[in-house]
């Protein structure tokens, strides 16, 4: 019985003995424990070790960062005229994976912008990702049909775009920006870090439907707008210089040319231009050549324009005087080793003044040869040759002057008439500016001032004297010699009736394949005006002219036209007007923006039949347009208005008389700025609307809405 009972319990009891104790339970508990440990480790990794990483991921899911673009700074001329600014544009992109109606989108763009539908379809079809640009930098006013579309795949992005109110005028100086508003040439490139500013941002919440909602709890970093730059350039003189240079190059069938104008007393560059030129709105494969400012990037042998330096150091050291008789050897002189120097106009025994007037190479070489080599070298370097001027423009080269140790037996004779050294046009004109400034050499500069968007001055360049090169007495004596060159010598074509011009012609052979060319020449004229009260020192260089090789024929007339037009525009009376041609046609002056007294004076000078502009008014439109050739008896139509009273704090929009509706943006800016009105620009092209406001200081601001 006992054995049966034990057998029963063994067969029916749930207890299986010590071998089966809770093994399923402990297996389950082990799995749970391992899982718990893994969760803890993972949470520790997420919340402690990689906290920053996952916090950013969470923010991207629930927040969105919106860029706040900084405005690129403006560039102004010396008179506060706006020469480079920025306006808002719309760029069109697409997400090919989300576009709902490709045909409708492409048709809208085609209708708005005039490009074929196939252009946009091709871009979308060839896109390899979820983003493709369709158009960049378009005025919002041109996108009426496109912006009305409600297509998930259409992306509109606001982008700034650079605008140049004077278009190509000054483009070699200012440069231009690329599609991303980054400077890639000229001052736009050199001062990109100053102009571009620093963009800000703001965070917004994204709700369950992925809609963005602002929140006061999230940080906002305001954009820092770019700084403004004021140049020493006078944009009106720059316009005159570029027009006369281009006209002269085409008339002379020349390969290239350069003009630089400097204020002698300060070293400020008032205008600088090279030919060929370029248009920042029309960049093509030929534009690179037009972007180069040859006045600082190219070197040449100065030729006879250097004779001013020879005369100055000779008179300063007392090795020659104006009336001393010297031997011109009848135009040909042969020296040691068979070296030969010749003159175009052969002379016998003449005074030094006559030698200067007729540009004798032989006599100027003789004067230079009288000076010790070290002293000659010192004067050349003191006048700024062979050294960089450190002008604040990109690409300046130093030029070359041989050291005395490398002089051979006739080096000084060649240096005396401008051969054997290389210089930039800026170095030459700066040497003439030193003479005009009583013998004081100034450092040339083109950046006058840098200010913040709020008007705070960050940097201000002031005139910097480099050294006294010659005495004031010597400077006056050499000036008198240069005046006689224009009055009675090789520079006669630079004469302006009623104004003294001091200057010197120059003609130099170009070096080709290591030898002086028999066919390629540089023709130049350097000087300053008025000679008795110098306002501007200027150089004109014509490269490879095909009508005549001489500076007196090529460069002097260009110098004359620029000087005449500039001095006329500044009210200099009783001088010859070069714009009146022999056939009685007149180059129409630009009087847009002039006040009544200025406009009446200019119109009277040109002998137009006109009704005087009423006192207090200004001219904001004219017909014929500036620079058109017209007959003296052609009807002149002026549109005038009264300037705004800037002190009138009760001014209303309806009281504004500066109506520039329909004007091109450039002309509108010219009119408003000439009357002291600050300007903001939206769009490009012609003025569609004007909005008026005043800033905190009460200054009137006009926003021009253009299309």
Residue 387 DSSP code? S
**pLDDT value, residue 692:** 76
Let me know if residue 48 belongs to a domain: yes
**pLDDT value, residue 212:** 47
Segments forming the whole domain that contains residue 112: 69-175+184-227
User: Based on the domain organization, do 152 and 38 belong to the same domain?
Assistant: no
> Which among 536, 569, 602 is the end of a domain?
569
User: Based on the domain organization, do 373 and 450 belong to the same domain?
Assistant: yes
Is the torsion defined by CA of 590, 595, 599, 601 positive or negative? negative
Which residues in the chain land under pLDDT 70? 1-22, 46-48, 50-68, 201-220, 514, 571, 573-587, 593, 605-607, 609-610, 616, 620-621, 623, 625-635, 641-659, 661-664, 666-667, 670-671, 673-676, 683-685, 695-699
User: Based on the domain organization, do 505 and 603 belong to the same domain?
Assistant: no
**pLDDT value, residue 245:** 93
Listing DSSP states for 29-50 in one string gives: HHHHHHHHHHHHHHHHIIIIIT
> Which among 68, 89, 124 is the end of a domain?
68
d(CA 655, CA 644): 8
Beta-strand pair 256-262/132-138: unpaired
**pLDDT value, residue 90:** 84
User: Based on the domain organization, do 491 and 608 belong to the same domain?
Assistant: no
Is the torsion defined by CA of 578, 581, 585, 587 positive or negative? negative
User: Based on the domain organization, do 397 and 508 belong to the same domain?
Assistant: yes
User: Based on the domain organization, do 46 and 77 belong to the same domain?
Assistant: no
Let me know if residue 508 belongs to a domain: yes
d(CA 484, CA 468): 25
Q: How many CB atoms lie within 10 A of CB 316?
A: 18
Say how many domains are in the chain: 4
d(CA 303, CA 421): 9
Q: Which two tokens stand for residue 679?
A: 């300007």
Q: Which two tokens stand for residue 259?
A: 């003009």
User: Based on the domain organization, do 61 and 75 belong to the same domain?
Assistant: no
Check if the beta carbon of residue 632 is closer than 8 Å to that of residue 624: no
Residue 342 DSSP code? E
Which residues face 351 on adjacent strands? Answer: 325
User: Based on the domain organization, do 369 and 435 belong to the same domain?
Assistant: yes
Let me know if residue 630 belongs to a domain: yes
H/E element holding 153?
none
Let me know if residue 9 belongs to a domain: no
User: Based on the domain organization, do 394 and 269 belong to the same domain?
Assistant: yes
**pLDDT value, residue 647:** 38
Let me know if residue 1 belongs to a domain: no
Query: For the domain that residue 218 is a member of, what is the CATH number?
Result: 3.90.1310.10
For residue 530, is the peptide bond before it cis, meaning its omega torsion is within 30 degrees of 0? yes
Q: Show the 3-state SS of 157-204.
A: EEEEEEECCCCCCCHHHHCCECCCCCECCHHHHHCHHHHCCECEEEEE
User: Based on the domain organization, do 99 and 128 belong to the same domain?
Assistant: yes
d(CA 8, CA 12): 6
> Which among 11, 38, 68 is the end of a domain?
68
Query: For the domain that residue 302 is a member of, what is the CATH number?
Result: 3.40.710.10
d(CA 370, CA 363): 11
Let me know if residue 7 belongs to a domain: no
**pLDDT value, residue 210:** 47
H/E element holding 525?
strand 515-529
d(CA 274, CA 237): 14
Is the torsion defined by CA of 11, 15, 20, 22 positive or negative? positive
Which residues face 623 on adjacent strands? Answer: 637
**pLDDT value, residue 684:** 65
User: Based on the domain organization, do 300 and 446 belong to the same domain?
Assistant: yes
Let me know if residue 579 belongs to a domain: no
User: Based on the domain organization, do 62 and 77 belong to the same domain?
Assistant: no
Let me know if residue 359 belongs to a domain: yes
């Amino acid at each position: 019985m006992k054995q049966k009972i034990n057998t029963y319990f063994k067969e029916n009891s749930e207890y299986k003995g010590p071998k089966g104790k809770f093994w399923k339970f402990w297996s389950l508990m082990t799995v749970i424990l391992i899982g718990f440990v893994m969760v803890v480790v993972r949470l520790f990794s997420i919340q402690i070790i990689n906290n920053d990483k996952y916090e950013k991921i969470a923010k991207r899911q629930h927040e969105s960062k919106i860029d706040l673009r900084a405005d690129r700074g403006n560039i102004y001329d010396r008179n506060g005229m706006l020469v480079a600014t920025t306006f808002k544009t719309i760029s069109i992109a697409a997400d090919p994976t989300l576009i709902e109606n490709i045909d409708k989108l492409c048709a809208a763009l085609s209708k708005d912008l005039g490009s074929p539908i196939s252009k946009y379809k091709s871009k979308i079809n060839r896109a390899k990702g979820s983003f493709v640009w369709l158009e960049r930098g378009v005025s919002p006013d041109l996108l009426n049909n496109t912006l009305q579309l409600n297509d998930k795949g259409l992306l509109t992005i606001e982008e700034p775009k650079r605008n140049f109110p004077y278009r190509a005028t000054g483009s070699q100086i200012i440069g231009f920006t690329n599609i991303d508003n980054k400077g890639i040439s000229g001052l736009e490139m050199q001062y990109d870090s100053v102009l571009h500013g620093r963009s800000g941002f703001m965070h917004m919440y994204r709700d369950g439907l992925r809609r963005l909602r602002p929140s006061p709890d999230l940080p906002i970093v305001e954009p820092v707008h770019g700084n403004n730059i004021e140049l020493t350039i006078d944009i009106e003189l720059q316009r005159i210089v570029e027009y006369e240079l281009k006209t002269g190059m085409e008339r002379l069938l020349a390969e290239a040319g350069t003009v630089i104008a400097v204020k002698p007393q300060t070293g400020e560059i008032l205008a600088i231009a090279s030919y060929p030129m370029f248009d920042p709105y029309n960049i093509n494969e030929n534009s690179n050549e037009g972007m180069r400012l040859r006045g600082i990037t190219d070197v040449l042998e100065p030729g006879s324009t250097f004779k001013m330096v020879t005369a100055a150091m000779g008179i300063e050291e007392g090795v020659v005087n104006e009336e001393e008789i010297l031997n011109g050897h009848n135009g040909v002189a042969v020296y040691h080793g068979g070296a030969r120097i010749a003159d175009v106009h052969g002379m016998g025994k003449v005074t030094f003044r006559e030698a200067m007037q007729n540009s004798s190479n032989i006599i100027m070489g003789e004067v230079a040869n009288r000076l010790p080599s070290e002293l000659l070298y010192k004067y050349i370097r003191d006048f700024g040759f062979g050294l960089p001027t450190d002008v604040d423009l990109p690409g300046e080269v130093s030029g070359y002057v041989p050291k005395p140790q490398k002089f051979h037996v006739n080096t000084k004779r060649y240096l005396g008439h401008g051969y054997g050294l290389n210089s930039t046009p800026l170095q030459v004109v700066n040497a003439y500016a030193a003479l005009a400034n009583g013998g004081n050499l100034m450092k040339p500069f083109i950046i006058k001032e840098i200010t913040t968007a709020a008007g705070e001055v960050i940097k201000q360049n002031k005139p910097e004297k480099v050294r006294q090169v010659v005495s004031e007495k010597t400077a006056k004596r050499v000036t008198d010699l240069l005046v006689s060159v224009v009055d009675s010598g090789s520079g006669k074509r630079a004469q302006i009736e009623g104004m003294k011009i001091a200057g010197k012609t120059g003609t130099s052979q170009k070096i080709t394949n290591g030898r002086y060319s028999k066919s390629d020449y540089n023709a130049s004229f350097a000087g300053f005006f008025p000679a008795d009260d110098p306002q501007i020192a200027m150089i004109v260089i014509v490269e490879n002219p095909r009508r005549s090789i001489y500076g007196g024929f090529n460069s002097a007339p260009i110098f004359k036209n620029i000087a005449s037009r500039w001095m006329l525009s500044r009210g200099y009376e009783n001088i010859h007007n070069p714009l009146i041609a022999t056939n009685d046609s007149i180059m129409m002056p630009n009087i847009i923006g002039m006040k009544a007294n200025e406009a009446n004076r200019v119109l009277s000078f040109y002998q137009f039949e006109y009704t005087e502009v009423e006192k207090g008014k200004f001219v904001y439109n004219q017909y014929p347009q500036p620079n058109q050739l017209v007959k003296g008896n052609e009807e002149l139509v002026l549109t005038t208005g009264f300037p705004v009273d800037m002190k009138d704090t009760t001014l209303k929009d309806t009281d504004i008389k500066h109506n520039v509706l329909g004007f091109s943006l450039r002309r509108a800016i010219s009119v408003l700025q000439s009357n002291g009105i600050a300007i903001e620009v939206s769009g490009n092209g012609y003025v569609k609307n004007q909005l008026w406001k005043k800033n905190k200081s009460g200054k009137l601001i006009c926003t021009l809405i253009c299309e």
